[in-house]
Amino acid sequence: MADQRFFRLRGPFSLAELASLADARLEQGDASKQIRDVAALDAAAEGHVTFLDNPKYTDQAKHTKADACVIRQDMIECLPSGVAALITDEPYRGYARIAAAFYPDAAEPNPLQPALAGIAVGAVIDPDAEIGDDCQIASGAVIEVGARIGARCRVGANATIGRGVVLGSDCVIGPGVTLTHCLIGSRVVIHAGARIGQDGFGFALGPKGHVKVPQIGRVVIEDDVEIGANSTIDRGSGPDTLIGRGCKIDNLVMIAHNVRLGPGCIVVAQTGISGSTEIGQGSVLAAQVGIAGHLKIGAGTQFAARSGVMKDVAAGQTMGGAPAIPMKQWLRQVVALNRLIKRRGVEE
């Protein structure tokens, strides 16, 4: 069971309820049986539901002590008899929904002040800011003139929301976040210390001194986006910087001015995207990737960790290396390099 100091356990839920939550079909089990917690395959005990998603863990599944398992139809035979099967094509997704039912707080990234109703005494809210119904604003948060916060938003301690910033409903803004010059949709999660909307890195360079170019665009963040801790997204220079609906961005990511991320992109930790580059819908950038400026990356592209992208990439490609090349070529490059050393070794 998760640590009760941090996570409140709900439930129990019947197998029928879990099947419904996971959009799964119950097999080999009593629909009314009560399940009281989630656990990993090897940690699960009586009364627990677990899941099998990765074939690598089939052996663990064979010995699980769980009462139920979210699983694909074609892997069902590895479950011990007596373990109820919750069958779905997407077990990880099903597990996610079940775990969120048991631990609703854990799916909310900022449960700093669960007891808090309304606005903390130490929050500083401009009289000309609009705060929606049922918002929670923690101590030390500063909300400036003209900001508009939708219903049920939660703003963490010492966060600052600048003049004119707009948030939709049900957003979670972590502690210490800074938002300026941005328009944010609904159900957006921004983790602690992220910086959104500061002016982009625009200078007219020269030996007489570098002159700052005013950045008069905004950051527009669509619905259901999540942005990781200490990440930075600069506002546009004139056009906006755009983060499309449902994008998930990890910690310490840098997104420069005028970048446009299509819907549903995944950007893993410490990746950087240079100015004015466009990334197509559903692309995946693994950790520590770097993408140069003014590029067009097609929809559904995937970049291996540490890719260094210097050219446009057509839709649907999988790339790796620096400079990034198609994944198959990159893997051959790695092999070729290793051979080169061996041959040299013989020659020397």
The site string for its own copies over 63-102 (x = CB under 8 A, - otherwise) reads ---------------------------x-xx-xxx-xx-x
Helix (H) or strand (E) holding 18: helix 15-22
Beta-carbon contacts of residue 287 (< 8 Å; ≥ 6 apart): 250, 268, 269, 270, 271, 305, 306
Distance CA 85, CA 66 (A): 11
Q: Taking CB under 8 A as the rule, does residue 314 contact its own copies?
A: no
Q: Taking CB under 8 A as the rule, does residue 298 contact its own copies?
A: no
Cα 151 versus chain centre, distance: 22
Contact between residue 318 and residue 301 where contact means Cβ atoms under 8 Å apart:
yes
Distance CA 268, CA 193 (A): 17
Nearer to its own copies, 77 or 323 (CB): 323
Report the residue from 76, 295, 299, 322 that binds its own copies according to the rule CB under 8 A: 322
Closest CA to 11 of 35, 39, 29: 35
Supply the DSSP string of 59-83, one letter for each residue: HHHHT---SEEEE-GGGGGGSPTT-
Q: Taking CB under 8 A as the rule, does residue 45 contact its own copies?
A: no
Task: Tell me which residues in 23-42 interact with its own copies (CB under 8 A).
Answer: 38-40
With CB under 8 A as the contact rule, which of the stretches 28-36, 58-66, 74-82, 119-127 interacts with its own copies? 119-127
The tokens for 281 are: 């819908």
Please report how close the Cβ of residue 31 comes to its own copies at its closest, in angstroms: 24
Q: Taking CB under 8 A as the rule, does residue 11 contact its own copies?
A: no
Distance CA 259, CA 243 (A): 8
Please report how close the Cβ of residue 81 comes to its own copies at its closest, in angstroms: 26
Residue among 181, 210, 257, 294 flagged as catalytic: 257
Contact between residue 137 and residue 143 where contact means Cβ atoms under 8 Å apart:
yes
With CB under 8 A as the contact rule, which of the stretches 13-21, 27-35, 61-69, 335-343 interacts with its own copies? 335-343
Beta-carbon contacts of residue 171 (< 8 Å; ≥ 6 apart): 149, 150, 153, 154, 184, 186, 187, 188, 189, 190
Report the residue from 150, 156, 185, 244 that binds its own copies according to the rule CB under 8 A: 156
Total residues at interface with its own copies (CB under 8 A): 122
Closest CA to 258 of 195, 315, 216: 216
Task: Tell me which residues in 237-256 interact with its own copies (CB under 8 A).
Answer: 238-239, 246, 248, 250-252, 254, 256
Nearer to its own copies, 55 or 77 (CB): 55
Q: Does the N-terminal peptide bond of residue 326 adopt cis geometry, omega within 30 degrees of 0? A: no
Q: For this structure, is 257 an active site residue?
A: yes
Helices 91-102, 15-22: inter-axial angle, 10-degree rounding = 120
Task: Tell me which residues in 200-229 interact with its own copies (CB under 8 A).
Answer: 201-207, 209-218, 224, 226, 228-229
Nearer to its own copies, 28 or 113 (CB): 113
Q: Taking CB under 8 A as the rule, does residue 268 contact its own copies?
A: yes
The site string for its own copies over 157-186 (x = CB under 8 A, - otherwise) reads xx-x-xxx-x-------xxx-x-xx-----
With CB under 8 A as the contact rule, which of the stretches 57-65, 78-86, 129-137, 321-329 interacts with its own copies? 321-329
Task: Tell me which residues in 127-146 interact with its own copies (CB under 8 A).
Answer: 138-140, 142, 144-146
Active site residues: 257
